[in-house]
A and B are shown apart, each in its own frame.
Chain A
Amino acid sequence: MKQRQLLAIVVSALVLISMALAGCGGSKPAAPPAETKPQQPAAPQPPKEKVLRISIAAEHLTFDPHNYKAGPDVVAQALIIETLVGRDKDGNRVPKLATSWKMLDPKKWEFKLREGVKFTDGTPFDGKAVKVSLERSSKAPRGSGFVGFVESVDVVDPLTVVLNLKTPFGPILDNLSDPVAGIVSPAALEKYGDDISKNPVGTGPFKLLEWIPGDRTVFVANTEYWGKKPALDKVIMRAIPEESTRLMALKSGETDLIENPAPHEVPNLKKDPNFTVIQTPRARNVWLGMNIKDKILSNKKVRQAIALAVDEETIVSSVLEGMGRVADNGFIPPEVVKLSPAPSYEYNPTKAKQLLAEAGYPNGLTLNLWTPENRYLRDKQVCEVIAQQLQQVGINCKITVMEWGSYLAACGRHEQQLYLMGWGFMTGEPAQALRQTLSTGNTFNYTQYSDPEFDELLAKAEQEADKVKRASYYQRMAEMIQTRDFAVVPLYYMYNSYASTSKVKGVYLTPNELIDLSEATIE
């Protein structure tokens, strides 16, 4: 009897708890996920709002384009805020808020502005707006890294501005096409100050409706947009950090578009008619760096041997499962500058062994290899494969895995010999990457590469306005750091990767990692 009573207590407690949970859940007419299952054909109904629900991996932190913190910020900002110069799908420059431009002299550029454009708060877009935004960005700690070349902006008339540069700056148009050079409403800037980070006002195809940090951000179409109006009425962005959960949200119909589906799931998604995988080249490289001031690595033959012993093809096919492309254009991704001939290394372990013997290491040697974890796609695994490949020619690698913040600090002390690093060419120009990672004495120059000719070429490239001439400088620089001095071994370039239900059409991912929704729609 007693036993039964106890059991009864246990069972009733369980029932009570489940009722409490289910009860409060059932009291609200929450839409069951099943309702939006992709496999169910949508019933004919009156035209309703076209809402695109996007699940990204990390939430944006600010809408202030001039002080953005990380990649997700730029993605969210770019839906709202526009730049003077735009880029089309092939990466070509196109007029956006500026309709034309010309160089008056190497330190003066004139821009004609688009007529009849209004910010979403009603403020007209004019020269004053350009002046306020660009001068603000050029002084911000983040913005100055990209548009710090702007000394001041003169408003000639409401639709003409002249940018006065501190020094001649060749890639000016590329840098002005980066979202960090976004033009925000001067009235909003005056009203909100730095709180523009929460109250962005731009001229773009969408405007911010609400932002609940940690939960969701809702954008609505800007019905007075000057260009082609977006087909979507609303975009809801949510961050789901966990890869598997994100995929499950897509499969259960809770979301329409997800960022970075797990690579091993991509083949299944591609086969499934209910889903679409969207993959486009991303201008982001990952390379193996060598600390050339190190005692062992200061010997060029050792560096050359390492370059010959790494097999990029295997890394891309076996570790990345097709989510990367072999770095066949060298350090600079082909979306940025197409080099010809591209500097590259053959895979030749025999020759590598021979070089090591010549360098005085016939019986092999030991090097340390540092890698961050979860910074780049499967970074640690990539290094494990590199270690195996180097083992084949007699180089023993001791791998050290570090969290990103510690990694940067440790690399700055130059105790590493080999290390993994990547770079996003956000402006569509290689000058920034080459300066930050390979110019003499730069903080992030972990190779400790230092060559006066390289530095001079870089300075020339930065001042040269002619794109063809600039490309020839980059060609030379790429050859120097790779086939002449063996400072870096470019491994792979990445892809943008999203997956959507097959109802979503027209989503495009740009090489600089933005989501272009101008053509996007949902059936």
Chain B
Amino acid sequence: MILCAAIILVAWFSTSWIGPQSGREAFLIGMLWVVLTVAFELLAGHYAFGNSWEKLIADYNLFRGRIWLLVFVATLLAPLWAFWQKHAA
């Protein structure tokens, strides 16, 4: 949850600096972040740190109490939310 808050905070401060021109671009930024994060976590986790695929996938199981998916939801939506907030203000 702390990480989610940190992501939202970083997105809030950085979205205007990144400079998306539309909500679609802001959403694409969030999607880019999620894709890069998943790719990094799975590839580095398996090949660099030697974790098994099962262990890596288990972190995504919401029904087992793993809330790692929330980080991705926050990462995906934070730039869009920040963009809307800045343009609504």
Q: Do A and B bind each other?
A: no
